[in-house]
Structure 1
Amino acid sequence: MLTLAPLQDALNPDGYPLIEAEAKLLFLKGGHYCFQYRQGEKETYKFLSPDTVRAAFQHERIDSGWIPNGVKRLGICRQGQWYVQFIPPAKRTFTFTNIDSSGEPISLTIPMMGTVFMLCGDTCYIWATKQKTFAAEAPIYHVPLPNIYGDGRICMGTENNLSNYAEGIERLAKAWQMFMTAPFNNHLVNGKSYTHPEDIHEKLIQLQKSNRYPINDLVQCGSSVQVAINMVINR
């Protein structure tokens, strides 16, 4: 619990008591807030929670909008609004470039495992799981696709800029659409398969007629969905 005595300097940082002002809000180290106000002839201090401070400055109505299926968690952090959505296993079609010498785009339909898709501010993340339904404590694995960094961050390309769209849950659907329709190249293709560690393209080509992704070939990249999400929102 915070006590007043160790914070005397912080509570009067400019050396002036409340003379002209009726009150002031102090931003203290460690993310604490203190409200200094006049009560009769006496100056009083009251510590406030971040939620209380936010409510005092937020007068606009907040509406999440219609929440899409699979959205499991949402919030606000330093990077902005964030959303977590579970995408169940299904066959999905992706476009790839630079697979062969022609350089022409090629579409591959791949049986995908369950994935956790996250939008945080303007940045997208995706992780694979071996689960058919969402589980926060489930281990996470590299999604077997190019253009995804080791921490799950997606390289969306300069042409796919989410900052052009207003904040709100609609951005989550837009981000997923960008991910599904943008062509994948030969960037970040290694380390995502035990059988094809050098280039995931080779594995994906083999799976054209398969109904399920061989989940034992997934390469683990984190302890759990929960830990991965917390690492993103606490940056």
Structure 2
Amino acid sequence: MNNITNEFNDKYIPYKALLIYNCERENNSHIHADDTNSVYVESYDIGLLGNPVNAHPLSLKESIALAELLQSSAEMQNGYLKSKGLHPNNLLYVNPDNNGYAVWYTPPQQRDLFFVESLGIPCGKGYVPAMVWKATRDKLRVFALKGKAKPTGKTELYHAPYFNTYQDGSVCMGNVNINIDKGTHLENFMMQWEQYFFGSYFSHMLGGEARTRKNIVHLWKGQTTTNNKFPDDTLFSCGLNLNQLIR
């Protein structure tokens, strides 16, 4: 599973520079920025040493590429965590800033569950508790809920009864390739995180503290070998309510 607590370290390398000239005519020193007839754009390639080389007028091909880049950037910025229509019913909170996050819940349900062989837990379908999810593009926290009602601000949260989670709800995703870009709409964002979480293999305990009142191996072995609903009485409170998580 991929450790999503690590930040991305993308390296950006300059490859093109633009120099924009205004034409100042006699008796008309004030030139409006939208007067395209009085603007000249010069394009430079960036050499191996990082210096501008090969100065030339901006070509039509370069102009088209620049326009497409600006359009794509605007669409990505406008799309991140924005809903395609009405907000999903299970959405609890959303902050659509550049590095914003969403908070949502899922009711008790049956999911495909995957465990590493060394745990001795059969992979298969099993019931999981209601959950609260809080995610940015590269970090995920999960918590459990008792019952199946949509939570309110004062609803008590419980430790997520899963392997690969820390006491604060943070999730270690191991070798899962997290690929959520800045243009991901809200519905896809939520769906992708749920698929990442349940599509990965549960493998180990983190933090050394018990997540459930029942042995966690026995708990999940029972869930994947029977058709029993998840036993809410095995959950431990984590000392947070939903309002505190959102803040």
**TM-score interval, smaller chain:** 0.5 to 0.7
AA of the residue aligned to 1:204 = W
Structure-to-structure mapping, 1:20-35, within 5 angstroms: none
What SS class does the counterpart of residue 111 from structure 2 fall into?
strand
**How far 1:61 sits from its partner (Å)?**
5.7
Aligned to 1:110: 126
Match in the other structure for 1:176: 194
Larger radius of gyration: 2
Determine the C-alpha separation between the residues in 2 that align with 1:61 and 1:121. 15
Q: CA deviation at 1:154?
A: 1.2
Extract unaligned runs of 5+ from structure 2.
1-73
Aligned residue runs from structure 1 range 133-152, under 5 A:
133-135=149-151, 136-152=153-169
1:131 aligned residue (147, 152, 157): 147
Greater RCO, CA 8 A, separation 6+:
2
Query: Structure 2 matches for 1:66-145, cutoff 5 A?
Result: 66=85, 67-76=87-96, 80-100=99-119, 106-135=122-151, 136-145=153-162
Q: Is the 8 A contact 1:108 1:205 kept in 2?
A: no
Instruction: Provide TM-score, normalisation by structure 1.
Output: 0.61
Unaligned stretches of 5+ residues in structure 1? 1-57, 231-235
* Aligned partner of residue 150 in structure 1, secondary structure: coil
Cα distance in 2, alignment partners of residues 218 and 61 from structure 1? 39
Mapped to 2, the partners of 1:193 and 1:173 lie a distance apart of 26
State the shift of 1:118 in Å: 1.8
**1:95-147 Cα deviation digits (max 9, x unpaired):** 0004347xxx8413322111111212311111001131222311111111100
CA gap 1:164/1:201 in 2 versus in 1, 3 angstroms: farther
Q: How does 1:217-232 map to 2 (within 5 A)?
A: 217-230=234-247
- Quote the Cα distance in structure 2 between the aligned partners of 1:171 and 1:112: 21
Q: Which amino acid aligns with 1:119?
A: A
